[in-house]
Structure 1
Amino acid sequence: MKKLMLLLVTAFIVAGTQAQTKEEIEKRKAAKEEQAKLTSDQAAIDKEQAVLAEQARQEKIKMFKDSVMAETRAQWVKDSLRSIQDSSNKVQTENDRLSTEKYLAVDKSRNDVYTAAGLSDYEMQKVKVINSQYYARAKAINADESIAGDIKSKRLAALNKERLKKIKATLGGKKASALEKARKTTAQNAEDSDSQWLYEIDSTKGKKKS
């Protein structure tokens, strides 16, 4: 009986030990599987973070390149505009210089005529004002393309007679005649386009006389 009891106890102990061992094995297996899953999940997270970090890095590089290109384009446009402006300023300066030289040359040639006629400075200024008014009117007639050539010539001739009459009223007959003689005998300045119409009238009269 005792032997039987001993065998039963031994059997229970062995069975309990085996059950405990099997449970521990299953626990260890489950723990390993859980650890493997955690490791796999962490690897996936690390990979995703690495991808996101690389995307962010590439985006920063692209933004930097775009910024550099934008600054380069802006500087190029700025430099181009400055170059154009500098060139324009140089051209304008040269035009201003030529205009000034032309004005001074024309003014001198007119003063030579006034001096040859014996006009005083005051008389010169009066004549300059009168001439400038009639030069402007003559320019308007010449620019009017609706006026036929022969009619235009007649209007210019009438305008010149009016100009001479006004100068005569200002200077007197003697000085007015001297001024007109000086204008015709003094070499014409080719740069003086405003007075060109007067010489064209002289030329027309000369042809009629001949």
Structure 2
Amino acid sequence: MPAGETATAETVTVDSPTECHVVCYVRSSVPGPVAGTVEAVTERLSRLDERGHLGGCRIEHWPPERHAFARRSDRTDRSELLGEFERWAERRGCSLEPGFRRKKRPSSPLDVGSNSASDELVRVPVVALALYDGPPSETAELRDVIPRTEHRNTGDQRTLTVDEWLAAVETGRREPTAGAAGGTRARSLEGRQ
């Protein structure tokens, strides 16, 4: 099954959400119809946090891509954050695609020099969740990233979406079922450019 599709009867176990501190990353500018869907996701997270279903929650815009004139002391850039997520996925044996992707930046005649970090474009989902074992800090451990794709022993793949994870927490299930959340709109947000 392609990574962008979801199965109908498989499940993926998630950590107890009451122990998780969730950071919801959203894009800073999205078209009007998509903005409404992003707002609905952030409202669902806020309700879950208010009801004590999460250890904590905060909404952040994706960090910027590093630019040629950025100082190293600037806050984490998008590539560094994705690097943290990729290391977690590698340890876990899963993939962040199709929601997250790196690709080579087309060359420009204005390029002064080649820098491997600036030669890459980092595509992130419109909305994604990072779950930590405590309030996000240098010492907090990353426990989960959503969306993510699990690789099965049978050779197929199954992508867990933000919508499925939220539906599981809202209903008290520890295993979100693919397609259980109903809407395909939120699912489609996670892989958009």
Fold similarity call, TM over 0.5: no
Which has the larger share of strand?
Answer: 2
Give the TM-score normalised by the residue count of structure 1: 0.20
Which has the larger share of helix?
Answer: 1
Give the TM-score normalised by the residue count of structure 2: 0.22
**More RCO (CA 8 Å, sep 6+):** 2
